[in-house]
Structure 1
Amino acid sequence: MKKTIIVLALLSLFSAGCVSTGKNFSADATKNIKKNSTTRSQIHGWFGYPYMTGIDNGDTTWIYNYSKSSVAGKVMVKDLYIVFDENGVVKNFTFSTSFPDEMKLTK
């Protein structure tokens, strides 16, 4: 019985130590984004509502962010920054990640 309690206590400690912020999004879907072609509604359909919105040199920006921290202190982050023109079409975008299984997408 003591062994079971110790194991459960350790499991709860480790699971409580993992923290994530933002909403996870599909890194694979970033391959579908095309400058001067992809629309705001398509982006919304693929990724949902942005984490933040803003203005960059007069253009609307949407930012998607997700981060995950482990008990061991390892932090992984991915960001998608999208700039739309006045017609709601992607003017430019950047995707960056430190998730190992997604890093191949940035090459």
Structure 2
Amino acid sequence: MTVTTRLKAVLMAALLATLVGCATVGQDFATHNVDQILLGETTRDDVQRMFGEPWRTGLKDGKRTWTYGKYRWSAFNDAETTDLVITFDANGVVESYVYNTTQ
């Protein structure tokens, strides 16, 4: 095996170890805007202006939810997770929200 071939093999092994060792799901969002959410006042349009498109949407007890989140796991470090789940009432106004982070 030539030096160049060995070097390529070492680099590929290092790249593979890095890729296997961590995973990221979700997308960044403006966490500094969380304190601007007002229950019973902030609308779906306001939320979209503050945070952009939600990463996931769903239903909780029949009410629309939007989730913003970024989850990073690593075999070498502690997990880093941040998420915001917003529940809207039938009129599209924020009824409740939960914000959690490991940061």
> Alpha-carbon deviation of 1:13?
6.2
* Separation of aligned partners in 2, 1:59 and 1:38: 16
Which residue does the alignment assign to 1:44? 48
* Separation of aligned partners in 2, 1:15 and 1:48: 30
* Separation of aligned partners in 2, 1:85 and 1:61: 9
Aligned residue pairs total: 96
- Give the 3-state SS of the residue equivalent to 2:91 in structure 1: coil
Which residue does the alignment assign to 1:82? 86
Which residue does the alignment assign to 1:26? 30
TM-score of the pair, normalised by structure 1: 0.73
> Alpha-carbon deviation of 1:69?
2.4
* Separation of aligned partners in 2, 1:13 and 1:64: 29
> Alpha-carbon deviation of 1:43?
0.8
The gaps in structure 2 that reach 5 residues or longer are none
* Separation of aligned partners in 1, 2:25 and 2:60: 24
Give the counterpart letter for 1:72 in structure 2: F
| 1:62 paired to 2:66 | yes
Tell me if structure 2 keeps the 8 A contact 1:14–1:71.
no
The gaps in structure 1 that reach 5 residues or longer are 100-107
| 1:94 paired to 2:98 | yes
TM-score of the pair, normalised by structure 2: 0.75
- Give the 3-state SS of the residue equivalent to 1:80 in structure 2: strand
